[in-house]
Chain A
Amino acid sequence: MNPESLPEQARRAWAVAKKDIRIYYLKGPVLIFGVFMPVFLFLAFYMGGRDLPLAFLIPGLVGMTLFFSATAVSPAIFPWEGSAKTLERLAACPISIEAIVLGDMIASALFGIGITLVTVLIGVGVGLPVLHVDILFIALFLGACCFSALGTLLAVPPTNVPSNIMMLSSLLKFPLVFISGIFVPLAEMPRWGLPLAAISPLTYFCDLARYCFSGAHYFPVTLDIGLLTLFAVVLSIATMYFHRKTMPRRL
């Protein structure tokens, strides 16, 4: 066994992911928050008197669910583990910082996909069939990778006070929801809004989700998939790079 090899490090990343799921994700409040938050935002817009059709709102709900659930816990794991000194335990084990980060991302992505599938079922339940199941699964996978990397990236500042990170996380997450075409169709956005929407990975996920549920889309599907992939890769590399830089200051 070569402990430095990629398969071996991937195996150890999976061990970290399982630990995260057990400790942080399989908790009642976390599961409830993951489902309720997007549902309440959805209801606010659904009952807000704007007469938006379900075929528009459900894909938005799916996008919000994936975004909020995949970024709900991951920003706080490093600060929690730093303050509990369990991060020091991981740092003394034969696992690279990149593999620890990957483990956190895997847990976050799996949680995001699991919760979002519930939302997809709700969509199907209210009479909105999935037209492109294969594209939906590709979108869910890429979106989950992308948002989990973003969530972990938010944990880069070397503080061990989770509330500091959660505040920073909320400052970024909520504006992103409003510029990503969830509640306002991209075609109806003001001219200044489109460039903002273009820098949000959530925009491309929602566009893909809309295509899967209704066949309608703003950007070409291949462009949505390509850009989501690019965001996932860039955010993953960035979060691993910056955690390598800041982790010693956290310990």
Chain B
Amino acid sequence: MTDIISAQDLVKTFGRNRAVDGVSFAVGEGEIFGFLGPNGAGKTTTTRMLTGVIPPDSGTATVLGHDIRKKPVLAKQGFGVVPETSNAYTDLSAWQNMMLMGELYGLPRRLAEKRASDLLVTVGLLGNKEQKVQAYSKGMKQRLILAMALVHDPKVLFLDEPTGGLDVQSTQMILSLLRDKNREGMTIFLTTHNMEEANRLCHRVAIIRHGKIVAIDAPEKLKMAIDRVHRIEVSFDRGVPGEALGEVSGVIAVNRIGDKYRLDVLSRDTAIRSLVAFAASNNLQIVTLNTLAPTLDDAFLRLTQEGGS
């Protein structure tokens, strides 16, 4: 897979605060890459360096093979940006904003008009295209920003918290559009706080803490890698003393939750076999038996809290 975005030892310091401290990663063609981290971890600063908005103190970033510092115009020509803060011109209409973007990306007028119309239909704003953006709701503004970022049909799209604070309808519309664009081959770099969004959308995620990358992997692999202790939930047709379950082979802790037991186990396989044997020997029927996988939230919390704050 060809690297479309590449960061090498990016460093950015604001005063005494080293916001980004030697960040390196690569994003392959056609990937949806999630960039996760707590507030102040350096996500937005990294994104702004990758998109050429601010220069790094050291390190290099390339997008579509162009060094963002040495060839900023060529690099920017190939990507679109949806920044954290909505930044359409509020004194212009949606249509005027779209046309401005078309001109800034060098599109012929007719092509810009065609793309703008199609995109405004897709994001549900064609009926409001002559309205000034200052009258738009937050969701409408964010959908417009996304349409503006797509007007030149970029190969790469950078999004910084694109669904933050939006209603369900706008969120679903944006996520659906991102999936469609990715299916068409667009590479997507997504900064988000929303673990569920990252889990459902991203092929790989990177987690950043205190300006350093602490993990990069596929969401499922990250979830499984964080914990050696697994969880199983089990319930029987009648009550069982917790102490008896604690003595089952492979079970290291028992918690009763309602009519279920949540067991911490070292090996799922060993524990399940032992539980089946335990039920048979005690003439119990197993009503439910669930293995609980760690969530991306668990992985995120574990990775961002390790080593203290």
Q: Could you tell me which A residues sit within 8 Å of B by CB distance?
A: 1, 3-4, 8-9, 11-12, 14-16, 18-19, 22-23, 84-86, 88-96, 248, 251
Asked if B103 and A15 make an inter-chain contact with CB atoms under 8 angstroms apart, the answer reads yes
List 21 A–B pairs whose Cβ atoms lie within 8 Å, in order of A's numbering. Answer: A3-B73, A3-B77, A12-B103, A12-B104, A15-B100, A15-B103, A18-B100, A19-B92, A19-B100, A85-B86, A86-B87, A86-B89, A88-B53, A89-B87, A92-B51, A93-B101, A94-B73, A94-B77, A94-B104, A94-B105, A94-B106
Cα-based distance from A221 to B83 in the complex (angstroms): 52
Q: In residues 187-245 of chain B, which contact A (Cβ within 8 Å)? A: none
Q: Is B96 an interface residue (CB 8 A)?
A: yes
The total number of A-B Cβ pairs within 8 Å is: 79
Q: A23 is contacted by which of B51, B91, B105 (Cβ under 8 Å)?
A: B91
Chain A residues closer than 8 Å to B90, beta-carbon distance = 84
Chain B residues closer than 8 Å to A1, beta-carbon distance = 106
Chain A residues closer than 8 Å to B54, beta-carbon distance = 248, 251
Asked if A22 and B77 make an inter-chain contact with CB atoms under 8 angstroms apart, the answer reads no
Q: Is B32 an interface residue (CB 8 A)?
A: no
Other than A4-B73, A89-B87, A91-B53, give 9 A-B pairs with Cβ distance below 8 A: A1-B106, A22-B91, A23-B92, A92-B53, A94-B74, A94-B105, A94-B106, A95-B104, A248-B55
Q: Is B138 an interface residue (CB 8 A)?
A: no
Cα-based distance from A19 to B87 in the complex (angstroms): 14
Chain B residues closer than 8 Å to A84, beta-carbon distance = 87, 90
Provide the main secondary structure of the chain A interface.
helix
Chain B residues closer than 8 Å to A12, beta-carbon distance = 103-104, 106
Shortest B99–chain A CB gap in Å is 9
Looking across the interface, which residue of chain A has its beta carbon closest to that of B91?
Answer: A23
**Which residue, A4, A14, A19, A90, has most C-beta atoms of chain B within 10 A?**
A19
Count chain B residues whose beta carbon lies closer than 8 angstroms to a beta carbon of A. 29
Q: Is B268 an interface residue (CB 8 A)?
A: no
Q: B85 is contacted by which of A85, A90, A96 (Cβ under 8 Å)?
A: A85
Cα-based distance from A92 to B105 in the complex (angstroms): 11
Chain A residues closer than 8 Å to B52, beta-carbon distance = 91-92
Q: In residues 74-97 of chain B, which contact A (Cβ within 8 Å)? A: 74, 76-77, 81, 83, 85-92, 96
Report if A93-B96 is in contact (Cβ < 8 Å); known contacts: A19-B89, A23-B89, A86-B87: no
Cα-based distance from A53 to B83 in the complex (angstroms): 58
Shortest B260–chain A CB gap in Å is 50
Chain A residues closer than 8 Å to B85, beta-carbon distance = 85, 88
Cα-based distance from A85 to B145 in the complex (angstroms): 13
Looking across the interface, which residue of chain A has its beta carbon closest to that of B101?
Answer: A93
**Which residue, A14, A91, A92, has most C-beta atoms of chain B within 10 A?**
A92
Chain A residues closer than 8 Å to B104, beta-carbon distance = 12, 15-16, 90, 93-95
Shortest A91–chain B CB gap in Å is 5
Cα-based distance from A8 to B105 in the complex (angstroms): 9
